[in-house]
A and B are shown apart, each in its own frame.
Chain A
Amino acid sequence: MNQILPNSFRSGPDERGHFGIFGGRFVAETLMPLILDLEKAYAAAKNDPAFRAEMDGYLKHYVGRPSPLYFAERMTEHFGGAKIYFKREDLNHTGAHKVNNVLGQIMLARRMGKQRIIAETGAGMHGVATATLCAKFGLDCVVYMGAVDVERQQPNVLRMKALGAEVRPVTSGANTLKDAMNEALRDWVTNVHDTFYCIGTVAGPHPYPMMVRDFQAVIGQEVREQIQQLEGRLPDSLIACIGGGSNAMGLFHPFLDDSGVAIYGVEAAGHGLSKLHAASIAGGKPGVLHGNRTYLLMDPDGQIEEAHSISAGLDYPGIGPEHAWLHDVGRVNFLSATDTEALDAFKLCCRLEGIIPALEPAHALAKVADLAPILPKDHLMVLNMSGRGDKDLASVAEHLGGKF
């Protein structure tokens, strides 16, 4: 059966927050009025040139944008095929792409008069970015983080505390990102009158997936300009890791209607797709969790299953609803990389490029290792280097038995 494809892949969501069957607003009634307020406030801010100008100013002078588009020369030579570029989101203030979105949401929270900010975090990068901007703007900040992640991401816990945020370890479920999100939603329901929930990825109830995408789209917009300057044309392929999928969506979205650009999203295959993993497209099916319908890991009764990944940032049993839709319509190709493949790519990147990648983009890098060698030398491939790996050194060292 032929699927009817849309005229544009960039027109979603509809007014009710749907990307095809995905997305929506599956939240408790207590939150619904606030979510409608948020949608209105965001629509007004988006059309306000002063908001945009203020944001651009902070992106330039505080975040340090534009981030470089860097030719990874030795990596390219090593694989002997496609010409590989890294979009250096790891060089942003706070060390990852997360800050792009947090800046937008915190500016919106200020417009809405909210003094208290809550966030969930997995690897801690979103938590650090939120703590950072709350410090800058003098807002109260509470970050929910699974107790397991608090252990494996100690450097980021210390950063958040230094920045004045309260880190609340979550001890329900598997004590990871999913459970932190449940706890943040419970806080929000309780403190809805003064609290803004700063969601870290392109998931949650509408308008979050759209709003976070818009704030992250600066990544792909810059790549379009930078690659034109460097190569005089658009790239042939894009690749990024996907947990919830915000760095990937930020890179992909401005290119969705460029049919000549192949797009690859890389999920975390953990111990392997037949074992414990976090690849919700490869191993899940559509369901409803955390405010949206999307691909989820679950059992036959619809109970959500625990994800597993070496990377705390990818350790989530779902994926943003727009990614789910882009998978179903065939615009984005979803691949997956195991813990071991990501560790190998991590080591390779350190040695060949002098860049310590976060374990999250190391998953994307692992698939570059599969794709690049069989592509021609004039194939331009852009990888989103979504974050730096300092936070992961202790856990990588442990996995490698202390031998880098």
Chain B
Amino acid sequence: MTTRIDTRFAQLKREGRAAFVTFVMAGDPDLATSLQVLKALPAAGADIIEIGMPFTDPMADGPSIQAAGLRALHAGTTLHKTLDLVRDFRKDDAATPVVLMGYYNPIYIYGVDAFLADAKAAGVDGLIIVDLPPEEDAELCIPAMKAGLNFIRLATPTTDEKRLPAVLANTSGFVYYVSITGITGSASADSAAVGAAVARIKRHTDLPVCVGFGIRTPEGARAIAAQADGAVVGTALIDALQKTLDADNRATASTVGAVADLVAALAAGVRGAEQAAE
């Protein structure tokens, strides 16, 4: 099975550059603005789009993404509406991979089989579910693979050599290396340590390795992109979006442009990176 994610990484490999992966929250600050933001991302330089599925209790996220999730929920976002958003995005874009990222409970309540079928039909390519480690693979990972969706696993600084094979076993699409022990947006990634960690993971897998948590600037993105197959930026984009909102957390005329401008700057950083020899 080849997904849009596999195709995109093959294409980037031919171009000799790393992927720029953007994270935005579905329905932040409202569903209509969120769709405009999504549509602006590929043109601004996003190679892969991660869309957050809002959840009331995001235990691995820092204050920015927590607040984004609450804004989305207050605006009436549900998992069904998140899938609608992907469907609408797909009307104009058949190529950019879309990965849904979030927590398990809303999917469990939706119903695993129904969710996977609907997600696939909407044009979703992969899933990142923070609170499903390999120990719980039977829940969603295995069914997702069978449904033709990539299940992208998080590897972390605490994932040691012994555990890495188990983490990688049912991973597909790419490996998401969490560059810090901590929550999203809380600390800066150290590119030297990241390089060593990516090399360690690559000894165990042929999958692309993307790095996230702690990348905020074009320089940071460039440094990470030189060490990995992709750099993920989330909190910085959410912060840029949040700064444009009015006092009632409503979108303003500058909201979509602010996100697109930062994506363009970060994408230039990623494209400026020279990739480490493989």
Contact = CB atoms under 8 A, between A and B. Distances in A.
Interface of A: 16, 24-34, 172-173, 178, 182, 185-186, 189-193, 287-291, 293, 296, 298, 300-304
A291 B132 CA distance: 9
A287 B135 contact: no
B66 A29 contact: no
Contacts of A182: 57-59
**Can you list the 8 inter-chain pairs with the closest CB atoms, starting with the nearest?**
A302-B109, A302-B106, A190-B182, A301-B78, A30-B156, A185-B59, A26-B131, A32-B133
11 contacts: A24-B136, A25-B133, A27-B131, A29-B156, A33-B160, A173-B56, A186-B183, A189-B182, A288-B105, A289-B105, A301-B79
Contacts of A298: 105, 109
B211 interface: no
B262 interface: no
Given A301-B79, A302-B107, A303-B106, A189 B66 contact: no
A172 B67 CA distance: 9
Classify the interface of chain A: helix, strand, loop or mixed: mixed
Given A26-B104, A29-B154, A33-B163, 5 more contacts: A25-B135, A29-B158, A186-B61, A189-B182, A302-B55
Given A26-B132, A190-B183, A300-B109, A33 B158 contact: yes
Contacts of B55: 302-303
Contact of A16 (B103, B135, B156): B135
Interface of B: 55-63, 66, 73, 78-80, 103-110, 130-136, 153-160, 163, 167, 178, 181-183, 186
Contacts of B60: 28, 30, 185-186, 189
B108 A190 contact: no
Question: Which of B63, B66, B158 lies at the interface centre, i.e. has the most chain A CB atoms within 10 A of its CB?
Answer: B158
Contacts of B181: 30, 189-193
A32 B137 CA distance: 13
A233 to B, nearest CB: 43
Contacts of B63: 172
Given A33-B158, A186-B60, A304-B56, A288 B78 contact: no
A228 B79 CA distance: 55
Contacts of B62: 186
B223 to A, nearest CB: 22
A287 B105 contact: yes
Given A30-B178, A33-B160, A186-B183, A290 B106 contact: no
A28 B56 contact: no
Contacts of B153: 29
Contacts of B160: 33
A288 B130 CA distance: 12
Given A172-B66, A186-B60, A30 B158 contact: yes
